[in-house]
A = this chain, B = another copy of it.
Amino acid sequence: MVKVAIIGVGTVGESVAKILETNKELICARAGKEIVVTKGVVKNLSKKRNVKIPLTDDINEVLNDDSIDIVVELMGGVDDALKVVKTALTNKKAVVTANKALLAYHRYDLQAIAKELPIGYEASVAGGIPIINALKVGLSANQIMSIKGIMNGTCNYMLSKMMSEGVQYEAILKESQELGYAEADPAFDVGGFDAAHKLLILASIAYGIDAKPEDILIEGIEDINSDDMEFAKEFGYCIKLLAIAKKSDKNVELRVHPVLIKDTQMIAKIDGVMNGISVIGDFVGETLYYGPGAGGDATASAVVSDIMEIVRAGQSSPMLGFKKPHESQILKLLPIDEIESEYYLRMSVIDKPGVLADIAKILANHDISIDRILQKPNSFKNQAKLLCSTHTCKEKQIKNAIKEIEKLSTLKDKVSMIRIED
A residues at B contact (CB < 8 Å):
15, 19, 22-23, 25-32, 122, 128-130, 133-134, 137-143, 208, 266, 269-270, 281-292, 295, 297-298, 300-302, 304-305, 308-309, 312-313, 316-318, 321-329
Interchain CB contact (< 8 A) of A326 among B25, B141, B318 = B25
Extra contacts besides A137-B309, A138-B302, A287-B290 (15): CB < 8 Å:
A19-B283, A25-B327, A27-B140, A28-B326, A30-B140, A130-B134, A137-B305, A141-B304, A141-B308, A266-B269, A285-B298, A286-B291, A287-B291, A309-B317, A312-B317
Nearest to A208 among chain B residues (CB) is: B29
The count of identical subunits is: 2
Q: Are B139 and A29 in contact (CB under 8 A)?
A: no
List residues of chain B with CB within 8 A of the CB of A27. 140-141
Nearest to A289 among chain B residues (CB) is: B289
Q: Are B140 and A282 in contact (CB under 8 A)?
A: no
Q: Are A297 and B285 in contact (CB under 8 A)?
A: yes
C-alpha spacing A329/B25, complex, angstroms: 11
Given A137-B305, A316-B313, CB of A289 within 8 Å of CB of B292: no
List residues of chain B with CB within 8 A of the CB of A138. 122, 129-130, 133-134, 302, 305
C-alpha spacing A357/B187, complex, angstroms: 63
Measured CB to CB, the closest approach of chain B to A416, in angstroms, equals 30
Residue among A134, A140, A270, A282 with max Cβ neighbours from chain B (10 Å): A140
Interchain CB contact (< 8 A) of A292 among B133, B137, B143, B285 = B285
Interchain CB contact (< 8 A) of A142 among B301, B312, B321 = B301
